[in-house]
């Protein structure tokens, strides 16, 4: 904060988002009774200032100014309730005073940014500054912080100005401090800063010329000395600096913001360490320490953690004692957190992280009322959010499960219900537009049907710029997603990528895009010669068909395409498996597993016959990688195409002494993938494997142990327990032991019959 008198103009230098600055500024403005208020901020956002008087505009919010032609150029100007600029503008609007921004327009700054980007590689600096000089140039107030014994300027400024209630004469005192710093440090201001300060002086001169008698200038403290010289520096000098600057067409609007984004950790340049703490300082300066400790106790009790009034009193005393020991007049945030960690958390960092996130950073999100102008796409999205009853999720930065309940924490939507189907369509359409509000997850494990979807929802403040960007595609979510998908399709050259796009379009119910995209998909499939790329695409295509009925989509064209792909895959698969290395074998193995599952889902005898004929070629061809041969043998056994005897012979051949130890272990890894039940239910196979391990010399056993361990640790606990019994007692003993526990057929009938009659509703 800083302020000084220069004729009809008084200057109030503030720290952006400083609660102490905001409080002192409001008192100073009340005493001054200005007739004109000039605030640091881009002048082309002036029309948005009037909305601050709207009670529905609840901070934290941000002014978004963006390049209409290039949405990659966008600037955000966040405001919190404790931001001095917010309080100053609200003060002026409540009293019907003249108020405006005075900083260089973003229309000019965006042009300068583009020009600087183009020229950057042409400029090389010869000046080599020390690390200390660089630190001071980046943050000149760190020089004062270091002298005062603080590690950074943020902590120093907070302790000096924000946590205490200063007299109004603090303004000229800080103005003098900044003037000395600018003079003594000899810091070379950037060309952009000089342009901005020239423009602000120009606006001040105009306000004086317009006849205002009591002009209040609110700006960052660093600019005060330069702006105070508005009368000494010639207007012609500033005009010469500003002459000939190009402009870019821009728009401005208000958007919701969050405390998380306002915090320094988000990367925001003018951020603060502790937004929630600063809000408390602004609203509850009296007894703020016990008040904060009480909020800690309430937070912990809500989490079923121990917290009592005694904890509040003890933590308050400890924070004050720490402040005295550290030579501070009042406890700051460091003292509060240290006391909370010791008293409430007993040194537990996990509990302290909860406190930090809730009461230091904060979870607050602002609100922008519907009457503030937005683009048509945003209006349509807001309407759909209400229609689908998802309003409680929009604006919430926490990760949430869609439709979660206490009894069902993962939630889940049912695509057979119209309301849930609409939710799914909306989320998928937004994902196509790059607005990734929802992420689809795997089910809970209890749902095996095709009618369930599980979504995790998380809102991000920068969604608004993505919405604006998506507005170029259409005025409704449906039209924009449709146009975006149609534009992307011709640029896709990989069959797998095109398959994913078709899947996304079907999930989003963009029916108008399906026919032309299917033609492109079929064209890519016809041109794709690599069998591996065909295998990449098949599981997705089958997945679409499986979900087709639930989504009420036409899948006939896809079914026809699948009928063409499967024979090509089955014919070409053995060829791509010949003489491949370990890395490629891993990739092909995963594709075989996925394609086997996909073909099984189709339940088509012709497809299955072709697929398992291909598996037989893999299992019996010596040049095929051992892991793939083992996996193929297992698939054939599971489908009863290979009998137990045939499988035993294949296993005996794989374990023969002529094969290397590593290749045998790889065959076993492929053969055992998925389940170890076949070893438990077929003791002969277990015995063969056991005999092979027994005859291994120690050096060979050590070599294959990691592979075997990787194989067997994938089995569930019950299977591993059974195998332990096999290893301890032997296959023959365990078989005899189990046979004694078998229920005779007549006994089985008596056990099952009453239950069966009950199910069928039969009597007697």
Asked if residue 381 and residue 329 are part of one domain, the reply reads no
Residue 338 Cα distances to 158, 196, 323, 344, 352, angstroms = 17, 41, 11, 10, 9
Asked if residue 97 and residue 208 are part of one domain, the reply reads yes
* Residue 676 within a domain: yes
Asked if residue 323 and residue 261 are part of one domain, the reply reads no
DSSP letters along 682-745, please?
Answer: -HHHHHHHHHHHHTS-HHHHHHHHHHHHHHHTTS-HHHHHHHHHHHHH-HHHHHHHHHHTPPPH
Q: Which of 477, 512, 527 is the last residue of a domain?
A: 477
Asked if residue 245 and residue 103 are part of one domain, the reply reads yes
* Residue 354 within a domain: yes
Token code pair at residue 81 = 């309730």
* Residue 498 within a domain: no
Q: Which of 316, 334, 361 is the last residue of a domain?
A: 361
Q: What's the pLDDT score for residue 198?
A: 95
CA 653 to the chain's CA centroid: 51
Asked if residue 705 and residue 662 are part of one domain, the reply reads yes
Asked if residue 257 and residue 146 are part of one domain, the reply reads yes
- Choose among 523, 107, 151, 114: nearest CA to 334: 151
Asked if residue 303 and residue 258 are part of one domain, the reply reads no
Residue 162 Cα distances to 149, 292, 457, 531, angstroms = 17, 16, 36, 67
Q: What's the pLDDT score for residue 445?
A: 38
Asked if residue 383 and residue 334 are part of one domain, the reply reads no
Strands 452-457 vs 400-401: parallel, antiparallel or unpaired: antiparallel
Order of strands across the sheet with 215-220?
2-6, 9-14, 215-220, 36-42, 98-103
Q: Which of 477, 495, 525 is the last residue of a domain?
A: 477
* Residue 692 within a domain: yes
Q: Are 22 and 87 in contact (CB under 8 A)?
A: yes
The DSSP symbol for 405 reads -
Token code pair at residue 419 = 């309301």
Cβ neighbours for 648, distance < 8 A, ≥ 6 positions apart: 684, 685, 688
Cβ neighbours for 50, distance < 8 A, ≥ 6 positions apart: 93
* Residue 582 within a domain: no
Number of H helices, E strands in the chain: 35, 12
Q: How many residues belong to the chain?
A: 764
Q: What's the pLDDT score for residue 739?
A: 43
Cβ neighbours for 381, distance < 8 A, ≥ 6 positions apart: 430, 467, 477
Q: Are 661 and 708 in contact (CB under 8 A)?
A: no
Residue 584 Cα distances to 78, 577, 620, 624, angstroms = 51, 9, 19, 12
Apex CA 532: angle with CA 526 and CA 537, to 5°? 65
Asked if residue 84 and residue 19 are part of one domain, the reply reads yes
Half-sphere exposure of 681 (CA within 13 A, CB side): 7
Asked if residue 51 and residue 22 are part of one domain, the reply reads yes
Token code pair at residue 755 = 């239950």
Asked if residue 380 and residue 357 are part of one domain, the reply reads no
In 10 A of CB 48, how many CB atoms? 20
* Residue 25 within a domain: yes
**Dist. CA 175–CA 9, nearest whole Å:** 14
Q: Are 637 and 678 in contact (CB under 8 A)?
A: yes
* Residue 531 within a domain: no
Asked if residue 52 and residue 178 are part of one domain, the reply reads yes
Q: What's the pLDDT score for residue 297?
A: 95
- Containing domain of residue 192, as a range? 2-118+134-266
Domain count, the chain: 4
Which stretches of the chain drop beneath a pLDDT of 50?
A: 1-2, 120-128, 265-268, 444-449, 549-551, 734, 736-744
* Residue 437 within a domain: yes
């Amino acid at each position: 904060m800083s302020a000084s008198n220069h004729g009809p103009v008084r200057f109030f230098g503030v720290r952006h988002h400083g609660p102490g600055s905001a409080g002192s500024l409001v008192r100073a403005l009340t005493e001054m009774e200005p007739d004109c208020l000039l605030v640091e901020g881009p002048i082309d956002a002036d029309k948005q200032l009037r909305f601050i008087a709207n009670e529905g505009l609840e901070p934290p919010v941000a002014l978004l100014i963006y390049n209409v032609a290039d949405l990659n150029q966008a600037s955000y100007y966040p405001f919190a309730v404790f931001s001095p600029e917010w309080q100053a503008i609200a003060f002026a609007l409540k009293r019907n005073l003249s108020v405006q921004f005075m900083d260089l327009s973003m229309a000019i700054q965006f042009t300068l940014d583009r020009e600087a980007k183009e020229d950057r590689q042409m400029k090389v600096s010869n000046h080599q500054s020390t690390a200390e000089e660089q630190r001071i140039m980046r943050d000149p107030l760190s020089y004062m912080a270091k002298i005062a014994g603080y590690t950074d300027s943020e902590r120093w400024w907070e302790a000096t100005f924000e946590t205490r209630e200063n007299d109004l004469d603090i303004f000229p005192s800080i103005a003098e401090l900044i003037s000395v710093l600018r003079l003594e440090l000899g810091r070379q201001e950037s060309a952009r800063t000089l342009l901005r300060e020239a423009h602000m002086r120009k606006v001040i001169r105009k306000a004086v010329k317009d006849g205002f008698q009591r002009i209040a200038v609110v700006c960052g403290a660093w600019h005060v000395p330069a702006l105070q010289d508005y009368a000494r520096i010639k207007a012609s000098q500033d005009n010469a600096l500003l002459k000939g600057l190009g402009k870019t067409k821009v728009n401005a609007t208000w958007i919701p913001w969050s405390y998380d984004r306002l915090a320094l950790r988000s990367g925001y340049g003018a951020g603060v360490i502790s937004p929630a703490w600063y809000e408390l300082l602004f609203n509850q300066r009296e007894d703020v320490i016990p008040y904060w400790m009480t909020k800690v106790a309430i937070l912990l009790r809500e989490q079923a953690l121990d917290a009592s009034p005694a904890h509040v009193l003890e933590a308050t005393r400890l924070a004050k004692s720490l402040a005295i020991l550290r030579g501070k007049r009042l406890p700051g945030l460091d003292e509060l957190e240290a006391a909370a960690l010791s008293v409430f958390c007993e040194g537990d960092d996990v509990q302290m992280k909860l406190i930090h996130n809730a009461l230091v950073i904060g979870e607050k999100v602002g609100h922008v009322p519907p009457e503030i102008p937005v683009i048509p796409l945003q209006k349509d999205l807001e309407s759909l959010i209400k229609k689908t009853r998802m309003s409680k999720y929009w604006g919430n930065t926490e990760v949430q499960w869609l439709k979660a309940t206490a009894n069902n924490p993962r939630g889940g939507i049912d695509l057979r219900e119209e309301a849930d189907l609409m939710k799914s369509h909306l989320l998928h359409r937004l994902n196509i537009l790059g607005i990734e509000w929802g992420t689809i997850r795997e089910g809970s494990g209890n749902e095996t049907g095709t009618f369930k979807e599980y979504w995790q929802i998380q809102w991000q403040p920068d969604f608004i710029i993505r919405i604006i960007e998506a507005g170029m595609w259409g005025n409704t979510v449906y039209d924009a997603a449709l146009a975006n998908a149609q534009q992307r399709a011709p640029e896709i050259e990989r069959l797998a990528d095109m398959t994913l796009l078709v899947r996304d379009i079907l999930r989003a119910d963009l029916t108008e895009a399906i026919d032309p995209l299917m033609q492109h998909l079929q064209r890519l499939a016809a041109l794709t010669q690599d069998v591996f790329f065909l295998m990449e695409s098949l599981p997705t295509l089958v997945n679409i068909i499986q979900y087709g009925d639930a989504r009420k989509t036409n899948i006939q064209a896809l079914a026809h395409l699948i009928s063409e792909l499967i024979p090509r895959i089955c014919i070409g698969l053995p060829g791509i498996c010949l003489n491949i290395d370990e890395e490629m074998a891993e990739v092909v193995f995963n594709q075989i597993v996925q394609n086997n599952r996909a073909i099984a889902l189709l339940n088509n005898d012709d497809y299955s016959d072709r697929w398992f004929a291909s598996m037989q070629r893999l299992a019996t061809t010596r040049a095929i990688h051992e892991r793939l041969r083992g996996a193929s043998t297992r698939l054939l056994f599971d489908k009863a195409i290979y009998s137990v005897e045939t499988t035993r012979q294949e296993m005996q051949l794989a374990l023969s002494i002529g094969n290397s130890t590593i290749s045998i272990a790889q065959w076993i890894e492929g053969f055992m993938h998925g389940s170890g039940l076949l070893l438990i239910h077929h003791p002969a196979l277990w015995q063969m494997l056991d005999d092979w391990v027994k005859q291994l010399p120690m050096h060979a056993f050590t070599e294959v142990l990691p592979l075997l361990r990787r194989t067997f640790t994938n089995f569930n606990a019950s299977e591993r327990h059974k195998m332990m019994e096999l290893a301890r007692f032997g296959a023959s003993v365990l078989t005899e032991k189990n046979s004694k526990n078998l229920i005779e057929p007549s006994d089985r009938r008596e056990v099952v019959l009453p239950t069966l009659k009950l199910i069928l509703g039969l009597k007697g």
